[in-house]
Structure 1
């Protein structure tokens, strides 16, 4: 489980590619690697990966073909900067919202509006995720827990404070970049439940029942 509060951004120290498989290696600081054990979960651009080897601060993570296909890790090479978050622990402050680290798709950056103290990023709103991308709702983008600021038919925007720009890869973002998306699980559950009830007629029947009681 993750909170969407990215702890650092850092370059990939090495990528070792094989058929439908890749190993990503990072050079973690002494402070950041403290307490990390083999098998622990770490979010890389919001993608939950498992620490395979730890040699001092040199830590490796494997990604299978499906992960490389669904997420932007498929295009990440040595030297590319990514967002990193260690898994949350019981008792930690949840500053963002609860994330699984399971990426649902990628969206393209369509427009960037930058001023001295604000950064507005517009991204595509794909049809199969549109029902979950709602005004003022939560969304995770490259592992960052963010609030959706504006929604249009085929695109949505987030507004980023300077801290987010400084700590995460959003400070380096460009038009055309592919961004990992994980929609809010609670929003997805509510939307899917309402859809199921509407499709089955249960919702209308329940509303009629309430009306009859009144």
Structure 2
């Protein structure tokens, strides 16, 4: 589990492509390496990946094709930075909201605006997932726990504070690029239960 608070943006040193998967090599800081072991889970751009190799500060992760198809990891290139969060420890403060690192879908960036008066990002969520997104609700975007400002026909707007811009990869994203989206699990369960209940009620009506 993760808290949705990105700990650092770290450089992606290499992307190796193999049949069925890709291997990502990321340079981590001493703080992020603390007690890190093979098999440990780390959030990379919001995607839960397992450590496969550790060589000094260089840590490798494998992502299977099924993961690549569902996330924006397939778009990553060496030289870019990626959002990193170590898995949460017991009794750790949850500054964002609990996240699993299981990406539901990708969303296309519509606009990123960074001005002195404020910053925001808008992106289009596929219809089958947009039903789980509500104004003032939580949404995991590239591993960052964010509050939704507005939703209009599947286009989501989120305001970005200076600290979020400083601590994440959002500033490098451009219109047309993809973001990793993790919907709030409790919201998803609630919406699905209400949908099933309504369908069952309508089915029983004469």
* 1:98–1:16 Cα change, 3 Å: same
> Matched residues in 1 for 2:173 and 2:58: separation?
26
Q: How many Å separate the matches in 2 of 1:46 and 1:199? A: 34
Secondary structure of the 2:78 match is: coil
Q: TM-score, normalised by structure 2?
A: 0.95
TM-score, normalised on structure 1?
A: 0.91
Residue in structure 2 matched with residue 162 of structure 1 by the alignment: 162
Residue 130 of structure 1: how far off its partner (Å): 1.5
Q: Unmatched 5+ residue regions in structure 1?
A: 206-214
Q: Work out whether residues 24 and 61 of structure 1, in 8 Å CA contact, stay in contact via their aligned partners in 2.
A: yes
> How many Å separate the matches in 1 of 2:87 and 2:70?
21
Count of aligned pairs between the two proteins: 204
Shift in Å at residue 171 of structure 1?
2.3
Question: Could you tell me whether the CA contact under 8 Å between 1:164 and 1:171 is conserved in 2?
Answer: no
Find the aligned partners of 2:78 and 2:138 in 1 and give their Cα distance. Answer: 31
1:132-171 equivalences under 5 Å are 132-171=132-171
Cα displacement string for residues 158-196 of structure 1 (whole angstroms, at most 9, x for unaligned residues): 000000000100122211120000000010010011111
Alignment RMSD (CA, Å): 1.5
Alpha-carbon distance in 2 for matches of 1:115, 1:75: 27
CA deviation vs aligned residue, 1:84-116 (integer Å, no higher than 9, x gap):
110001111000001110111111110122211
Which aligned runs of 4 or more in structure 1 are off by greater than 3 angstroms? none
